Homo-oligomer: A and B are copies of this chain.
Amino acid sequence: MEHLPDHLLSGYRNFMGGRYSTETKRYRELAATGQKPMTMVIACCDSRAAPETIFDSGPGELFVVRNVANLVPPYQPDGGHHSTSAALEFAVQSLKVKHIVVLGHGRCGGIQAALDPGAEPLSPGDFIGKWMSMVAPAADIVANNSMMTVGERQTALERISIRFSIANLRTFPCVKILEDKGRLSLHGAWFDISTGELWAMNRQSGDFERPGNG
């Protein structure tokens, strides 16, 4: 097993002696009957914002897509290989999830790059630039708002892009139809790495609010 980094092997041994050992029955059932998660989470790749950690989730609970800055592109059935759209389709049509949560977080590197597209080390022709260009119109407006601090602009764009992803979710016919029928709900959330606070998007106003602060 010299084929994996030591820190992963050591963590895996903890898993086997811990969670797997106490939840063996659950794993076996999940293997035998297949997954039936109620919730899909679209989260960021950031190592500090894993949804299973933030929501203390066990096996079988969350179907999770993770890409840079937790973006959802618009519905675009052009025959290309669409990672996020494929996962969305699978979650909604095959697994029939009841909730989709777009989970953003503070100090997101992708959002930072979008606000400062010329910055090192990401060059103009790269994939990150293209990927984050999905939020370019909002990024331009926010970046030009010199009245907000750097930190405020970052948080603002993080939250705008969550609302933007939720809007894009609704361009997928299967999402729109099921949401209209009341069989699927869309949610936004934003995690503050430093304080551990979770802010949930108010579905009426679009505002982000803290528990008990509604």
- The minimal Cβ–Cβ distance linking A121 to chain B, given in whole angstroms, is 6
- The minimal Cβ–Cβ distance linking A138 to chain B, given in whole angstroms, is 5
Q: Which residues of chain A from 51 to 109 have a CB within 8 Å of any chain B CB?
A: 52-68, 71, 73, 77, 79-91, 93-95, 98-99, 101, 106-107, 109
Q: How far is the CA of A35 from the CA of B7 in the complex (A)?
A: 17
* A52-B50 in contact (CB<8A): yes
- For residue A202, CB closer than 8 A to chain B, the reply is yes
* B55-A53 in contact (CB<8A): no
Which residues in B have their C-beta under 8 angstroms from that of A45?
Answer: 40, 63-65, 87, 90-91
B-facing mask of A19-61, CB < 8 A → 1, else 0? 1100010011011101101111000011110101111111111
* A63-B47 in contact (CB<8A): yes
- For residue A176, CB closer than 8 A to chain B, the reply is no
Say how many copies of this protein the assembly contains.
Answer: 4
Chain A interface, number of residues (Cβ within 8 angstroms): 124
* B127-A88 in contact (CB<8A): yes
Q: How far is the CA of A98 from the CA of B24 in the complex (A)?
A: 32
Partner of A142, one of B20, B128, B147: B147
Q: How far is the CA of A183 from the CA of B101 in the complex (A)?
A: 36
Q: How far is the CA of A3 from the CA of B210 in the complex (A)?
A: 10
* A3-B209 in contact (CB<8A): yes
- For residue A178, CB closer than 8 A to chain B, the reply is no
- Secondary structure of the A contact surface, majority rule: mixed
Q: How far is the CA of A207 from the CA of B153 in the complex (A)?
A: 10
Which residues in B have their C-beta under 8 angstroms from that of A7?
Answer: 38-39, 55, 61
* B130-A56 in contact (CB<8A): no
* B68-A34 in contact (CB<8A): no
* A198-B63 in contact (CB<8A): no
Q: How far is the CA of A12 from the CA of B3 in the complex (A)?
A: 30
* B147-A210 in contact (CB<8A): no
Partner of A1, one of B27, B59, B90, B212: B212
A-B pairs, 4 with minimum CB distance: A31-B194, A86-B131, A3-B200, A11-B55
